[in-house]
Structure 1
Amino acid sequence: MAIESGFEIGSIVTNYLIPLGWKLAGAIALWIIGGWAINLIGNLSSRGMTRQKVEPTLIRYVEATLRVIMRIVLVIVILSVFGIETTSFAALIAAAGVAIGVAWSGLLSNFAAGAFLIILRPFKVGDFISGAGITGTVKEIGLFATTIDQPDNVRTTVGNNKLFSDNIVNYTLNPCRRVDLTAQIAHAVDPKQAIELIRTRISQIPNVQKDPAPDVEILEFNAAGTKLVVRPYCHNDHYWQVYFDTNKALAEVGAANGWPIPAPHQVLRQPV
């Protein structure tokens, strides 16, 4: 009986445990070597795209996607080592992917919108934009959200899908931006002379573009006198400096030339 028991144990060890141990050792070796190969391929692809001056966010997209795909392939290979049918496993992954896609539809839509933002490039990091009700400087275009610093130094994170589905205004893309202001002058002030004086003074403001030249024209006539439109052009980085300096320049021109304060005038006529 002892001999038979020893024979059975030896048979189990020889037929089952040793092959299982070799499979387990092979699986561990595959996991270690495969992980090393995945990191190597991921790093090489990242360096290659960096040398080609690809957008940094797109590099992270591609690298992360590549690593996930290779890791799934590695798991399937390891399962095949243990004799598990990989066809059914692949079907299980597909079914799980569908379930996750339904559950995480909002998250995946942000991911897809982020990919389109990188490919279509309506803006880039550092641009001053307005979209999804937020205006500010783009600090990061992430996998699922975009980070924007607003002018009041408040950092806001906006979902890529919400940003991509809204109108996007890029203030930085064009070389200059127009500042829109108005100036009300009294009836006693000659509009033509006022236009020349204001245009000359506006042209002296730092960072105002010479081409196109500032626009100073008559906008309308009202009860207080003549309303002028004043429109200097500048780079977006200097917008607020030019905006405030233009207002100061209008006050300086009026004070230097003794222009009266505009006030509504009404003429009452007595019936004869």
Structure 2
Amino acid sequence: MNMQTIESFLSTTLTELAIKIAAAIAFWIIGRWLIGKVVSVMQAAMNRSAVDPTLTKYLGSIVAIALNITLVLGILGYFGIQTTSFAAMLAGAGVAIGAAWSGMLGNFAAGAFMLVLRPFKVGDFVQIGGTVGTIHELGLFGTAIITPDNVLTLIGNTKIFAENIVNYSARPVRRVERTAQLAGSVDPLDAIARFKAAVAQIPHVATSPAPEVNLLDINLVGCVISVRPYCHTDHYWQVYFDTNEMMVRVCQEAGWPAPTPAQIVKTMAVA
């Protein structure tokens, strides 16, 4: 074999390899562009059909991952690599990774169940995983919520299903629980009438169901009145604070004395 033959062989081989590499790069760029378009069209169609945003994003991620794997296998096949053996190797690697990342896979499975059961959606005010806040995003492995003090918190989906889920936004209104301790000299029926009239004037208090004002308890100090207005979750804390201010204002306007514990003093006569 002379040098001319070797040079011709190398030239031909390198030329074919360069063409294949260029074609593979072109396939990758075009394929990624097409995948982005497919996912965008799919998500746009789901949005037009008023599908839940959480489900739309979740399915879009799954489709994108599946199409990217298909694209990689297609490029490898173009280079003449046996994709069956590669798929077997990928499956073996998946088993090993799955064993190491069992917790992550558990979070993934829990996320899939959340899409089916739909215990909450983006924007709901909930208590999950021991944390209270507003649902910001439901991801493949974790759910992001924003707490009332404006802190972004990520909770693993497995932890969410391991504990109770409280959805404060599931119902149109929720109840505010407050109590007023009165002095023993205050007429409880008069107090109930005054509180009922005042609580109805608080902004954002729902009319249906109507606020509940009742005689809750009687103790050594006097009567305890429960004041329970209903409101939307978005206005819960404002109504909570306004109810406290209303009770103080009513007590001051009525001139009721401050509640103090009753004391009985016994004296013994000295013979």
TM-score range, shorter chain: 0.7 to 0.9
Aligned to 1:191: 188
Identity over aligned pairs, percent: 50
Aligned to 2:38: 41
Could you give the per-residue CA deviations for residues 135-171 of structure 1, whole angstroms, max 9, x where no partner exists? 1222222332222222222222222222233212111
Q: Is 2:111 the partner of 1:111?
A: no
**Cα distance change on mapping 1:155 and 1:31 into 2, 3 Å:** closer
Q: Is 2:145 the partner of 1:148?
A: yes
Aligned to 2:50: 53
Task: Name whichever of 174-183 and 63-72 sits farther off.
Answer: 63-72
1:100 maps to a residue whose letter is I
Aligned to 2:239: 242
Give aligned pairs, total.
Answer: 269
Q: Is the 8 A contact 1:223 1:266 kept in 2?
A: no
Q: TM-score, normalised by structure 1?
A: 0.85
How many Å separate the matches in 2 of 1:158 and 1:148? 8
Aligned to 1:101: 98
Aligned to 1:165: 162
What's the Cα RMSD here? 2.8
2:193 maps to a residue whose letter is E
**Cα distance change on mapping 1:7 and 1:267 into 2, 3 Å:** closer
Q: Is the 8 A contact 1:218 1:226 kept in 2?
A: yes
How many Å separate the matches in 1 of 2:152 and 2:32? 37
After TM superposition, list the pairs within 5 Å mapping 1:1-272 onto structure 2. Answer: 5=2, 8-9=5-6, 12=9, 27-28=24-25, 30-267=27-264
CA shift at 1:224, angstroms?
0.5
5+ residue gaps, structure 2: none
**Cα distance change on mapping 1:196 and 1:66 into 2, 3 Å:** same
Q: Is the 8 A contact 1:55 1:118 kept in 2?
A: no
Q: TM-score, normalised by structure 2?
A: 0.85
5+ residue gaps, structure 1: none
Task: Name whichever of 41-50 and 209-218 sits farther off.
Answer: 41-50
